[in-house]
Amino acid sequence: MTVHSQLMQLGLFDARVPRYTSYPTAPHFSGAIGPADFAGWIRSIPVNTEISLYLHVPFCRRLCWFCACRTQGTVSDDPVRAYAKVLKAEIDLLRTHLAPGIRLAKLHWGGGTPTMLAPDLIRELAAQIFDVVPMADGGTFSVEIDPMEIDAPRLDALVAAGMNRASIGVQDFDPQIQAAIGREQPYETTLAVVEMIRARGVTSLNADILYGLPHQTPTRIADSVQKLLALSPDRVALYGYAHVPWMSRRQQLIPTDALPTPEERLELFEIARQLFLADGYAEIGIDHFAKPSDSMAQAAKAGKLRRNFQGYTDDVSPILIGLGASSISRFPQGYAQNAPATAAHTKAIRAGQFSTERGHAFTDEDTLRGRLIEALMCDFHINRAEILRDFPVTPERLDALLTTAARAFPQMLVLDATGLSIPESSRPLTRMVARMFDAYDQSKAKHSAAV
Ligand SMILES: C[S@@+](CC[C@H](N)C(=O)[O-])C[C@H]1O[C@@H](n2cnc3c(N)ncnc32)[C@H](O)[C@@H]1O
Ligand code: SF4
């Protein structure tokens, strides 16, 4: 059976196959984890640890039709100001639980659109965060920037606050595609923003682009990728457009008859991929490319690539604290998610409590399976010796898990003494193979039975 027919049969083209930015995935979190667990997990962080912090801003000036992110549109700055006040109270609350000497390895502001924050709010929030958790030597501060929602004063404030990595949303440069996805963004604007970012000394630039968009053709995606390469980003996220109108209602505005077929999606990805490789970029995991000098490319080469809620990362810290509505935190003990609705989050913080609504406490089985999935998503390889060294699993049990996965994908995977590998030709299957190790996802049984 070819990779393509397996993909068709197994449902990779089904947008519901998890991207495994966590294990278990967020739909499997439960209400068993609340504010007291979250506070306890924060208090258990040892003194002098390096942690990571994610700050979520769930507002956008415009609501792009294609976007599946949970965010609110607002023309006025008032809700953003009110929200920033809540964030400040949340940072103060965090301060009361943290042990001394904790430092920040990575700070990331995402959304939504964090550049909705006015310069004074950027300054105040960053200053308060660093007052509570100072930046570690070599720490990084990255921010998601919508090129249509940024100007010199806000960039100046971000750079003065210490931003040393920028991530811009591009999606596609083609005007007809931009019109079809409700996101107009002239190439000249993106170029000008890139120049403004670099002129301020920010040397690390990431760009997000999408394949599988309406009206996208091989010629058009090649043209967009060439334009992007002219901007010389250090990293690129090449995401497959996820059409999930049942989750994101504004996607109902997307002309479904103009969406590429599953076969065309694969071709679009491959065209973009070849262009990045030809330009010297290293392929990272299932959907990233980076210049070989970039820290993510180096982490991938050294087998130190990891997966977290932002996708791929070179962050090895086991602790990520999420601030703001809907943010998810990760601890060695488990996951904790803040209230997704801004109103509920605000209410809890104003009452002096964390807003944790859901989460998951890890069992030994979760951490084993989570690592097996992460290894496949990051390295396309499960290293048998490493797993036996790091986890309380017998060789017989591990071999049984690996064999079951290999048998579900006849002739597509390599199982040998070193472990289980996904060869390059089978990489489009990666999420499906990872799903074989997901004990919570019942739908995989249906698919493996169909092979
Ligand atoms: C949370 S958004 C923030 C970007 C920022 N607000 C901007 O507009 O540039 C981060 C990225 O998620 C990706 N994204 C959003 N909706 C998506 C979808 N339906 N399918 C795939 N990727 C999506 C986009 O590539 C986007 O740049
Ligand atoms: S792509 Fe960015 S600006 Fe557009 S709706 Fe999503 S988060 Fe907001």
pLDDT in tens, 144-183: 999 999 999 999 999 999 999 999 999 999 999 999 999 9
CA of 39 to the centre of ligand 1 (A): 31
Q: Is the pLDDT of residue 81 over 90?
A: yes
3-state helix, strand, coil in the chain (%, to 5): 45, 20, 35
180's enclosing H/E stretch is helix 175-180
| 168 Cα to the center of ligand 2, angstroms | 11
Q: Identify the pLDDT of residue 451.
A: 29
Look at ligand 1, atom 7, and give the residue with the nearest C-alpha: 146
What's the mean per-residue pLDDT of the chain?
A: 94
**Closest Cα to atom 3 of ligand 2:** 60
Ligand 2 pocket residues where CB is under 6 Å: 60, 62-64, 67, 69, 71, 111-113, 146, 169
Residue 8 has pLDDT above 90, yes or no: no
Q: Whose C-alpha lies nearest to ligand 1, atom 21?
A: 241
Q: Is the CB of 15 under 6 A from ligand 1?
A: no
Q: What is the pLDDT of residues 31-55, one digit of tens each?
A: 999 999 999 999 999 999 999 999 9
Q: Residue 121 pLDDT more than 80?
A: yes
Strands 235-240 and 288-290 come out as antiparallel
C-alpha 68/C-alpha 66 separation (Å) is 7
Pair 275, 281: CB distance under 8 Å: no
Contact 439, 28 (CB under 8 A): no
Tokens of 426: 């089978």
Separation between Cα atoms, residue 387 and residue 384, nearest integer Å: 5
- pTM of the predicted model, to two decimals? 0.95
Share of the chain above pLDDT 90, in %: 91
Per-residue pLDDT tens digits for 236-260: 999 999 999 999 999 999 999 999 9
Of the listed ligands, the closest to the CA of 144 is: 1
What residue's CA is closest to ligand 1, atom 5? 146
The answer to whether residue 122 scores a pLDDT higher than 50 is yes
> What is residue 315's predicted lDDT score, i.e. its pLDDT?
84
Could you count the other beta carbons within 10 Å of the beta carbon of residue 253? 14
Instruction: Give yes or no for a cis peptide into 112 (omega within 30° of 0).
Output: yes
- At residue 188 the predicted structure's pLDDT band, cuts being 50, 70 and 90, is very high
pLDDT at 381: 98
Interval 387-404: pLDDT, tens:
999 999 999 999 999 999
Task: Give the closest residue (by CA) to ligand 1 atom 10.
Answer: 169
- What's the confidence (pLDDT) of residue 83? 98
* Tens of pLDDT, residues 156-165: 999 999 999 9
* Region class of 57: left (phi > 0), else alpha (psi between -120 and 50), else beta: beta
Within 10 angstroms of residue 99's Cβ, the number of other Cβ atoms is 13
pLDDT confidence of residue 448 = 43
Return the number of other C-beta atoms located less than 10 Å from residue 179's C-beta: 13
Which element (helix H / strand E) includes 210?
strand 204-211
